Amino acid sequence: MDAACALIYDAAMNGDVNLSFDTAHLVVALVPLAIYFLLLAVINLMPRPLMISGTRDLAALAVGISGLVMMGPVQLFTPPPMLAQMGPYYWLLLVLLYGSAVSLWILFLRPRVVVYNIAPEQFRGIVSTIAVRQDPSARWAGNALEMPQARLLLKLEPFPAFRNVSLAIDSDQFDFSAWQRLVGELSVALAEMRVPRNPRGVTFGMIGTIIMGVLIHRCSQQGQALTESFIRLLGL
C-alpha cells in the first residue's frame, strides 16, 4: 500500500495525473444531488403541503444520489480494460442496471404517500377525520391506524425535524380501493390548507446553491482540460 501511495504521489508531482479529472467526477456526482436539494427547497417553501406517492419520492431520491453511486462504488470497481473496450456504452449499461434495480425496489414497496411541509400532529388529525368518516370503527394504536371495516392497517411515520410525514400500508392484506379513497380525500383536504413556509427549505436551498456555485466556479477554471477529462471518464 505504501508503494502504491508513493507511485500515485510521484505521478501527481510529475504532472502525469490531470486534476481536472477530479472535477469531472464531482460534476457527475454532485449535480443531481444539488438539483435534488433545490427541489426540496422549492417544495418546503411552498405555502401549502404537498403530497406525493412513495414511488415518486423514492424515484426522486434515487436520481438525486445516482451520481454519488456512479462515481463512488461503481467507479471504484470499474475494470479499466472493460471501460476502454466498451467506452460510453459501459456507462449506459450501468445507468440501465441502476434504473432497473430502483424499479424493482419500487415494485416491492407497499403503497405509501409522503406529505411535505406539514406538522405530523396536524396531518394525524386530518387522517383521523377522514378515517372515521370512512370507517367509524377506526382507531389508533400509537402510530398505527386500524380500519377494520375498510380492511386497512396504516402506519404513520413522522419526521418532525424536516416537517414531513409518510403514511403507508402496514399489512400484506388490504383493500386497494379503500386506500385510493383515503388518499383521494387526503389530497382534497391538503389542497385547501395553508401552512407557514418551512424554514428547512432555506437550508436545502443554501446547500444546493453552494454545491452548484462551487461546481460552476471549478468548471469555469478548467476550460478545455475539463472537456478532455470528461472524454477520458467516458472512455472515448
C-alpha to C-alpha distances, 81 to 78, 86, 89, nearest whole angstrom = 9, 9, 13
Q: Residues 199, 204, 206, CA angle at the centre, nearest 5°?
A: 100
Mean pLDDT within 206-213: 95
Pairing of strands 164-169, 152-159: antiparallel
| pTM of the shown model | 0.81
pLDDT of 85 reads 78
Place of cell 476502454: 84
pLDDT of 236 reads 66
Mean pLDDT within 144-151: 94
pLDDT in tens, 27-44: 888 999 999 999 999 999
Higher pLDDT: 1 or 177? It is 177
pLDDT in tens, 79-120: 777 777 777 788 888 889 999 999 999 988 899 999 999 999
Residues above pLDDT 70, as percent of the chain: 90
In SS3 terms, the chain reads as CHHHHHHHHHHHHCCCCCCHHHHHHHHHHHHHHHHHHHHHHHHHCCCCCEEEEHHHHHHHHHHHCHHHHHHHHHHHCCCHHHHHHHCHHHHHHHHHHHHHHHHHHHHCCCCEEEEECCCHHHHHHHHHHHHHHHCCCCEEECCEEEECCCCEEEEEEEEHHHCEEEEEECCCCCCHHHHHHHHHHHHHHHHCCCCCCCCHHHHHHHHHHHHHHHHHHHHHHHCHHHHHHHHHHHCC
Q: Residues 219, 221, 225, CA angle at the centre, nearest 5°?
A: 75
Q: pLDDT class for 3, splitting at 50, 70, 90?
A: very low
Higher pLDDT: 162 or 77? It is 162
